[in-house]
A and B are shown apart, each in its own frame.
Chain A
Amino acid sequence: MNFKNELERRCFEIAERTLRDSVTIEHNRTIQIESALFPEVASFKGPPAKEIDVLVAQLLDTPKIVLLISCKMLSRPAEPAHVQEWGAVVQTMNKYSDGTLYFGLVISPTGFTAGCEAWATSHNLGIIPPLKGRKLSFGEETVFRMFERTLKALHARVQLRFDDLKEPPALFEFVYRIVADFEGHHEADLDGRYILFPHGWPSSFGEMYQTLGGRTIEDLWAMQGGTVASLSRRHLVQFGGNRIEYGLDDESTRSATLSTVRCHKNIDMEPCTLDLIRSVAIGKAITSAGDFGSYLEFGLDKKFNLGLHEDGFHLMSTETPVEDHRL
């Protein structure tokens, strides 16, 4: 397989991985309409033909649905003429189709100029990355992730229903909905404090609490560079100072536990043993959470606060009067 540039190669690999063997790439391919039995396309040279570079992905066998992908590797954002040209190709292929439905997609890692959207919506083309009214810069890897997500989603979508995607701007809007959420994700990704196991996906405090809230503590231990709470239904949370990892416990990330752990109890942080903290915390459910930067604190059964530090734990009762509820 020959590729004109790195963008084509990556897009082909992604499409092949996503859709398996229904993907081909062709350079200077002369595309011809499927049905030439229309007076308006009759000429002395035969039906119209055009040479293009195209990544072809078949999304559905019956009826045949084909995605025609144009990979634009440009030093500047793609211009309306690029989108307009692809719109004309897809529109002509559909107009003189013999039963095949063609969808069109344009990928330009350097983005698109503002005028492209009007052409993409009127020709019902998907564009990656999306245009959102201000200049957004996505890295090349993010654009490839967008492409992969779009292919997967479109492939799954046409198995369920496809006729409603034919009318402009339904496909444009569909692709937009699939890739638009990368903006918030991109911003969160830069922070990198919360990581979701087992995929290693960037996460947020809200999602962490949504996942862990209500689970009971099953064990506590410390390891090099952090402390860990094992939770019910095979989950865990690991606090490592500037990184909080949580999610499904596949036990592959566990390292040796430390025998000496700094533990404190009560509001005045008296030293105590890990056994004491375990004896109170284990079996209790997480009812609140707070990220205080240097430690992560969970409310347990609305009666205790359990803190996970980089080098140990703290535990205190939240009931009043304080003196009557010391541990």
Chain B
Amino acid sequence: MPMPAEQLLLVDSDGKPVEIDALIERLQRERTRVLADDEVGLVIYMGDLGLYSLKPTDSGAFLAQRVSEISRARFSTRMLRKQIGARVLSVTTDAVVVVKDGNTLRKVRAEKLEPGMVLASGEKVYR
């Protein structure tokens, strides 16, 4: 999970965008899919739907990753704006990001991302 995952773009296997709110509303009615629905939030299983989250890369292409669960927290933590590569992202302070640290990888919270750090995906943090 090398990228902050707050700006979620979902597509189906044909690459068509999926409207997340409508999808959650529909899946919520299938109770066997609901892994958690409580005071903390909602977690829904969607591993069998063939949906992918898209992560934009520096080159302008998108990296697709299969999504197994989608969660909607009833409370999120403070938001930050971070420029990573060519993009400016809104991420929560507690989003976990994997960065390169010499020859190893290390996880940091988004609030601890500093200009000059390089993500596992090769993208640089600018501000």
Interface residues in chain A, defined as those with a beta carbon under 8 Å from any beta carbon in chain B: 117, 132-134, 145, 149, 152-153, 156-157, 159-161, 164, 173-174, 177-178, 180-185, 187-188, 196, 199, 201-204, 207
Contacts and interface: CB of A to CB of B under 8 A. Distances in A.
B34 to A, nearest CB: 7
Contact of A160 (B39, B43, B45, B71): B45
B47 A204 contact: no
Interface stretch (B11-19, B56-64, B74-82): B74-82
B35 A133 contact: no
A187 B77 contact: yes
A117 B48 CA distance: 29
B75 A187 contact: yes
Contacts of A174: 69
A203 B74 CA distance: 7
Contact of A181 (B33, B40, B108): B40
B22 interface: no
B39 A184 contact: no
B43 A178 contact: yes
Contacts of A149: 36, 38, 40
B35 A157 contact: yes
Contact of A173 (B1, B32, B33, B74): B1
B105 to A, nearest CB: 10
9 contacts: A149-B36, A156-B35, A157-B69, A178-B36, A181-B71, A181-B74, A183-B77, A184-B77, A196-B39
A204 B35 CA distance: 23
Contacts of A181: 40-41, 71, 73-76
A152 B109 CA distance: 27
B65 interface: no
B40 A132 contact: no
Given A153-B36, A174-B69, A185-B75, 14 more contacts: A132-B96, A145-B40, A149-B36, A152-B36, A157-B45, A161-B45, A161-B48, A178-B36, A181-B40, A181-B71, A183-B77, A187-B75, A201-B74, A203-B74
Nearest to A173: B1
Chain B interface residue number, banded: 20 to 34
A269 B71 CA distance: 45
A199 B40 CA distance: 12
A59 to B, nearest CB: 13
B47 A160 contact: yes
A183 to B, nearest CB: 6
A181 B96 CA distance: 12
Contacts of B43: 153, 177-178
Contacts of B34: 156
Nearest to A134: B109
Contacts of B75: 181, 184-185, 187-188, 202, 204
Contacts of A188: 74-75
A152 B45 CA distance: 13
Nearest to B70: A177
B68 interface: yes
Nearest to B38: A149
A39 to B, nearest CB: 36
Contacts of B1: 173
A183 B96 CA distance: 13
Contact of B94 (A156, A159, A180, A202): A180
B124 interface: no
A18 to B, nearest CB: 12
B33 to A, nearest CB: 7
Nearest to A176: B96
Contacts of A160: 32-33, 45, 47-48
A133 B71 contact: no
Q: For A183, A187, A204, which residue has the most chain B Cβ atoms within 10 angstroms? A: A183
Nearest to B104: A118
Nearest to B34: A156
B38 A156 contact: no
